[in-house]
């Protein structure tokens, strides 16, 4: 290692952050003359305290990787041919703006849609652009990640209690969450508290890194979380483990709930969840009797399709009937920040005309995270908190419906898709359909770090600034009452720009200049922070001197504010908001989208249960397959299967196997493990092969091992509340790959 003198003159230490997952771990970057010499985890940053995971350590490799997109690219040959012309930003923006204006003139603003990914972005800027442009069709795959949970919980309690007061807690339920692979700083906190007696319950079909450390592991059948939650409610109510004072004072609908869950005994749940009644009772008792306690959100329920909304509702009820809300050690209803300007306040939602809101794709069927439900909830929270949740994320067009509209022109044509920070073929459901839509859409623009399969099919590709090249505000999708701020270490390399600049400059080209007063992202951030009253001159000054803002922790806000942000002012176990939207006010039982009990004929052909979508170190979603310093750890996609099941199918460790559902098949390498139930198969998510030919139709083998080929986005399989589609609890079969056959991308 070349030794770097960290004391040398002219060396600046920048307080930047890692940008490869939502934790945004703090990083100290040592910069001299605009060049980064060294970086390390920031020991003073509250979450990571100096630590960095695998991904965090490759920040510099990511920064100047040979495969990065560095200049605006315009397609030269056929779409997907991989022939590009380097053009200027100005030319790119002018041409894109002209094209969008023409589409708007001919088909209406709603014919322009945008697809987003995980937070790599300032998506308030995207929403601001789209609101001013007049299209309601922004979407993310956030349906798979927290957003439905947030909205169901807000319908019931008036905000989502995502802030957990773990330091004072006695029990945490990690429901379909594996912080041991996906949120390392959180895992560290849990381990430290566990040593002091915190009880840890892990609900997961897989024996994960986290399950290995748990007091109780409940390996349920994938997709049966709703049955488990209902049975837990049953146990807690019928064994008298409720917090009756809390219910009496703060909840409505307890009697209806009591009657409703009478049927959902642990014995009833046994055959559905594959857990014994005793295991179910043990878990419910552990949570209810070790108060205060927390239920940590995990993506598992968000990704179940049809039963998802009801499962979130049932899970939300568990907190309420045990009184684990807004008291010390419990899940806290902090509400939005009262002090700084939130994401929602940057979005200009009021500029989107009502008749355009009504056109939002999917909002007629899936009402909770589209304008009908969001509008109602925003109204309630504004009255109570003075602010609304972020619309970008919480109010979205339904992605499968948008892809359908591209393919069929129904209910109306969608002609342009602007893609930012996502690789849709690998991260949205039913990849074959997504890919068909990307090939079919008239005009495709991608903002990305890499030439992803989607970028390859695009008309324009724009180079985006990465972690150390941009400032970042971390505030839980704009919904937390705190924020953490990080600065850029260096100006973007080559001609990269932030996504903020893309939307801003495109907006200006389309006549939105008056609404984009901030020349830089730092200016916009400073505007947002000014109400905090730190008296700083610049955003960088805030980062250097303060870095974060945590308001004083306040418990029992509802006491002071006189209730909750719901129509009745109470916690609505029996939800009037859901009822208003036409949904069951109490969580009904909905079976997993494909299951052996209700669909025996499907189970005959596809006898195994599939779970997928979980995070696997060192990758993140569909990212980092190019980075050999990470890829070497798991250089091939791996599926997990119990040795007994593998034996039945003649599968041995290391065999390439096909995993097939009714929608298609993929191949991954078999890993035999006792950490998964016989009859269950786990596949890794995100896989594509950027080292291969990236031109259409090969597109880096983007369907070959991609688990989303297996998932279902059929409208009937989607959650009626949120429209989230089904990644888990599907039926599949597996068999050995006989020849070296590659799956085509046709």
Partner 1 sequence: MKHHEEGWGWMLAVDFFFAGMGGAMLLIAGVLDLLPGEAGTSLLGNICGPLFISLGACFLILELGRPFQAWRVFMNPKAILTIGAWTMTLAIGFGFIYASFGLDVFPWSKMVGLRKLCAVICIITGLIVATYPGILLGRHKSRPFWNGPGMMVLFLLSSLVTGGAAHLLSAYLFTSSLAGNIAGLNLTVALLLAFQFLVWLVYLWVKISGTTTREAVAARRWLNGEFAAPFKYGFLLAGTLVPFILLFFEQRGLTMVAACLVLIGGFIMRNLVVSSGNIDRTWLPGELDYRSRLPLGDEEFLRAWNNK
Partner 2 sequence: MARYALVIDSRRCIGCHSCTVACRVHNELPIDMIYNPVTTVGPKGVFPHVRMMHIPLLCMHCDNPPCVDACPTGASQQRPDGIVWVDQNKCVGCKACVMACPYGARVSNKETGTVQKCDFCMERVEDGLLPFCVKTCHQKARIFGDLDDKDSDVFKLVNKEPSIRLLAELGTEPQVYYIYSWEV
Residues 80-119, mask of contacts with ligand SF4 (x by CB under 6 A): ----------------------------------------
Segment contacting partner 1 by CB under 8 A, of 330-338, 593-601, 608-616, 690-698? 690-698
39 near ligand SF4, judged by CB under 6 A:
no
Select from 23, 160, 668, 683 the one that contacts ligand SF4 (CB under 6 A): 23
Residue 118 near residue 22, CB atoms below 8 Å: yes
Binding partner at 597 among partner 1, ligand SF4, partner 2, none, C-beta below 5 to 8 Å by kind: none
Residues 120-179 that bind partner 1 (CB under 8 A): none
Task: Tell whether residue 40 is a contact of partner 2 (CB under 8 A).
Answer: yes
| Other residues' Cβ atoms within 10 Å of the Cβ of residue 262 | 11
Smallest distance from partner 1 to CB 67, Å: 7
- Asked whether position 145 contacts ligand SF4 by CB under 6 A, the answer is no
- 676: contact with ligand SF4 by CB under 6 A: no
Minimum CB–partner distance for residue 631 and partner 1 (Å)? 6
Burial of 7 from C-beta contacts in 10 A (0-12 / 13-18 / 19+): exposed
Which residue in 76, 383, 559, 628 binds partner 2 (CB under 8 A)?
628
CA dist 704 and 294 (Å) reads: 40
By a kind-dependent CB cut-off of 5 to 8 A, residue 689 interacts, out of ligand SF4, partner 1, partner 2, none, with partner 1
Element (H, E) at 640: strand 638-641
653 binds partner 2 (CB under 8 A): no
**Which among partner 1, ligand SF4, partner 2, none contacts residue 18 (Cβ within 5 to 8 A by kind)?**
ligand SF4
Q: 578 near 314, Cβ under 8 Å? A: no
Structure tokens at 69: 């997109």
Distances, alpha carbon 110 to alpha carbons 86, 132, 209, 353, 718, in Å? 30, 12, 44, 12, 23
Region binding ligand SF4 by CB under 6 A among candidate stretches 17-25, 302-310, 540-548, 602-610 = 17-25
628 touching partner 1, by CB under 8 A: yes
What would the two tokens of residue 518 be?
């901030």
Residue 654 interacting entry, from partner 1, ligand SF4, partner 2, none, C-beta within 5 to 8 Å by type: partner 1
**Residue 479: half-sphere exposure toward Cβ, Cα within 13 Å:** 24
Q: Which does 626 bind (CB under 5 to 8 A by kind): partner 2, partner 1, ligand SF4, none?
A: partner 1
Per-residue mark of binding to partner 1, 636-655 (x: CB under 8 A): ------------------x-
Please tell me the count of residues contacting ligand SF4 according to CB under 6 A.
12
Query: Could you tell me which stretch among 51-59, 170-178, 337-345, 456-464 binds ligand SF4 (CB under 6 A)?
Result: 51-59
Residue 632 contacts partner 1 per CB under 8 A: yes
Q: Could you give the residue ranges of the DSSP H alpha helices within 486-598?
A: 499-509, 521-529, 539-545, 557-561, 576-580
Shortest Cβ 441–ligand SF4 spacing (Å) = 31
Peptide bond into 261 cis (omega under 30): no
- Residue 691 interacts with which of ligand SF4, partner 2, partner 1, none, CB < 5 to 8 Å by class: partner 1
**Interaction between residue 390 and ligand SF4 (CB under 6 A):** no
Provide CB contacts within 8 A for 440, sequence distance 6+: 406, 407
Q: Which is nearer to partner 2, 672 or 710 (CB)?
A: 672
Q: How far is CA 102 from CA 99, 112, 155, 505, 510, in A?
A: 5, 11, 40, 18, 11
Q: Give every CB contact of residue 5 below 8 A, 6+ residues apart in sequence.
A: none
How many Cα atoms within 13 Å fall on the side-chain side of residue 108?
15
Half-sphere exposure of residue 448: CA atoms within 13 angstroms, side-chain side = 29
- Sheet (strand 216-218) strand order: 216-218, 199-203, 171-175, 293-296
Of 116, 618, 637, 701, which one interacts with partner 2 (CB under 8 A)? 618
User: Nearest CA to 336 among 391, 397, 395?
Assistant: 391
Structure tokens at 571: 């916690």
Would you count residue 695 as binding partner 1 (CB under 8 A)?
no
Tokens, residue 687:
């896989």
3-state helix, strand, coil in the chain (%, to 5): 35, 15, 45
For 485, which DSSP code?
A: E
Q: Which of 703, 712, 114, 96 is nearest to 402 (CA)?
A: 114
Q: Which of 58, 147, 312, 578 binds partner 2 (CB under 8 A)?
A: 58
Residues 166-185 that bind ligand SF4 (CB under 6 A): 184
- Binding to partner 2 by CB under 8 A, coded x per residue (else -) over 152-191, reads ----------------------------xx--xx-xx--x
Binder among 14, 24, 147, 616 for ligand SF4 (CB under 6 A): 24
Of positions 14, 15, 16, 18, contacts ligand SF4 by CB under 6 A: 18
**Residue numbers 198-217 binding partner 2 by CB under 8 A:** 207, 209-210, 212-213, 217
Piece of 88-96, 180-188, 407-415, 620-628 that binds partner 1 (CB under 8 A): 620-628
Closer residue to partner 2 in complex, CB, 559/628: 628
Rounded Cα distance between 687 and 684, Å, is 7
Provide the mask over 578-617, with x wherever binding to partner 1 is found by CB under 8 A and - wherever it is not: ----------------------------------------
Which range of residues in 18-26, 65-73, 242-250, 311-319 is near ligand SF4 by CB under 6 A?
A: 18-26
DSSP-assigned states of every residue in 331-393? EE---S-SSSPPTGGGS-GGGS-HHHHTT-TTTTT--TTSHHHHHHHHHHHHHHHS----HHH
Q: Is 616 helix (H, G, I), strand (E, B) or coil?
A: coil
Residue 563's region, left for phi above 0, alpha for psi from -120 to 50, else beta, is left
* Contact residue for partner 1 among 1, 2, 33, 66 (CB under 8 A): 66
The values of phi and psi at residue 507, to 5°, are -60, -45
Q: Judged by CB under 6 A, does residue 16 bind ligand SF4? A: no
Backbone angles phi, psi at 345, to 5 degrees: -70, -10
3-state secondary structure of 302: helix
- Closest approach of Cβ 211 to partner 1, in Å? 18
Binding residues for partner 2 (CB under 8 A): 1-3, 40-41, 48, 50-54, 56-58, 60-61, 180-181, 184-185, 187-188, 191-192, 207, 209-210, 212-213, 217, 219, 617-618, 628-630, 632-633, 642, 673-678
Which parts of this chain interact with ligand SF4 (CB under 6 A)? 18, 20-21, 23-25, 48, 52-53, 55-56, 184
């Amino acid at each position: 290692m070349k030794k770097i003198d960290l004391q040398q003159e002219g060396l600046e230490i920048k307080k930047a952050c890692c940008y490869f997952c939502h934790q945004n771990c703090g990083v100290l970057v040592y910069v001299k003359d605009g060049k980064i010499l060294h970086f390390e985890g920031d020991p003073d940053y509250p979450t990571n305290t100096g630590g960095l995971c695998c991904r965090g350590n490759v920040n510099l490799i990511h920064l100047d990787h040979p495969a990065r997109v560095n200049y605006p690219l315009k397609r030269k040959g056929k779409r997907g041919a991989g022939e590009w012309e380097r053009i200027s930003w100005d030319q790119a923006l002018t041409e894109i703006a002209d094209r969008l204006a023409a589409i708007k003139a001919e088909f209406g603003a709603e014919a322009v849609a945008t697809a987003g990914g995980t937070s790599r972005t300032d998506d308030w800027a995207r929403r601001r652009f789209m609101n001013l442009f007049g299209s309601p069709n922004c979407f993310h795959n956030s349906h798979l990640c927290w957003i439905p949970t947030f909205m169901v919980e807000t319908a019931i309690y008036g905000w989502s209690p995502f802030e957990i007061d773990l330091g004072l807690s006695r029990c945490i339920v990690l429901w379909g969450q594996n912080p041991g692979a996906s949120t390392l700083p959180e895992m560290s906190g849990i381990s430290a508290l566990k040593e002091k007696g915190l009880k840890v319950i892990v609900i997961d079909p897989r024996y994960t890194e986290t399950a290995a450390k748990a007091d109780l592991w409940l390996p349920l059948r994938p997709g049966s979380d709703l049955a488990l939650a209902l049975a837990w409610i049953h146990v807690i109510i019928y064994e008298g483990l409720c917090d009756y004072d809390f219910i009496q004072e703060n909840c409505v609908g307890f009697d209806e709930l009591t009657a409703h869950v009478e049927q959902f005994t642990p014995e009833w749940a046994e055959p559905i969840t594959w857990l014994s009644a005793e295991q179910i009772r043990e878990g419910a008792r552990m949570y209810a009797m070790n108060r205060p306690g927390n239920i940590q959100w995990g993506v598992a329920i968000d990704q179940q399709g049809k039963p998802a909304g009801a499962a979130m509702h049932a899970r939300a009820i568990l907190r309420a009937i045990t009184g684990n809300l807004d008291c010390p050690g419990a899940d806290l209803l902090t509400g939005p920040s009262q002090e700084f300007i939130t994401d929602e306040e940057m979005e200009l939602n009021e500029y989107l005309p009502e008749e355009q809101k009504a056109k939002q794709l999917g909002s007629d069927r899936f009402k909770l995270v589209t304008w009908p439900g969001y509008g109602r909830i925003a109204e309630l929270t504004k009255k109570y908190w003075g602010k609304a949740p972020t619309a970008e994320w919480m109010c979205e067009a339904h992605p499968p419906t948008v892809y359908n509209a591209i393919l069929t022109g129904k209910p109306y044509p969608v002609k342009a898709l602007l893609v930012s920070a996502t690789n849709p073929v690998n991260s949205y459901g039913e990849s074959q359909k997504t890919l068909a839509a990307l090939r079919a859409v008239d005009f495709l623009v991608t903002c990305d770090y890499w030439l992803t399969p989607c970028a390859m099919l695009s008309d324009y590709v724009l180079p985006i600034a990465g972690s150390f090249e941009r400032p970042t505000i971390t505030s839980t999708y704009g919904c937390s009452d705190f924020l953490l701020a990080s600065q850029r270490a260096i100006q973007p390399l080559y001609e990269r720009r932030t996504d903020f600049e893309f939307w801003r400059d495109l907006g200006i080209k389309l006549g939105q200049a008056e609404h984009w007063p901030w020349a830089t992202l730092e200016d916009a951030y400073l505007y947002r922070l000014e109400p905090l009253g730190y008296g700083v001159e610049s955003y960088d000054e805030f980062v250097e001197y303060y870095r974060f803002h945590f308001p004083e922790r306040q418990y029992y806000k509802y006491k002071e504010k006189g209730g909750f942000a719901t129509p009745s002012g109470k916690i609505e176990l029996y939800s009037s908001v859901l009822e208003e939207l036409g949904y069951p006010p109490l969580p009904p039982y909905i079976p997993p989208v494909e299951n052996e009990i209700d669909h025996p004929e499907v189970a005959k052909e596809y006898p195994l249960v599939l779970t997928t979508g979980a995070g696997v170190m060192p990758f993140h979603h569909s990212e980092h397959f190019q980075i050999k310093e990470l890829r070497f750890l798991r250089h091939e996609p791996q599926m997990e299967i119990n040795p007994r099941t593998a034996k039945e199918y003649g599968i041995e460790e290391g065999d390439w196997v096909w995993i097939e559902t009714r929608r298609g098949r993929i191949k991954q390498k078999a890993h035999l493990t006792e950490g998964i139930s016989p009859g269950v198969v786990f596949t890794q998510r995100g896989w594509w092969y950027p080292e291969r030919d990236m031109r259409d139709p090969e597109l880096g083998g983007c369907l070959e091992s991609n688990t989303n080929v297996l998932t279902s986005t059929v409208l009937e399989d989607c959650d009626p509340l949120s429209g989230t589609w089904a990644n888990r609890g599907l039926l599949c079969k597996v068999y050995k790959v006989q020849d070296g056959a590659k799956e085509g991308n046709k």
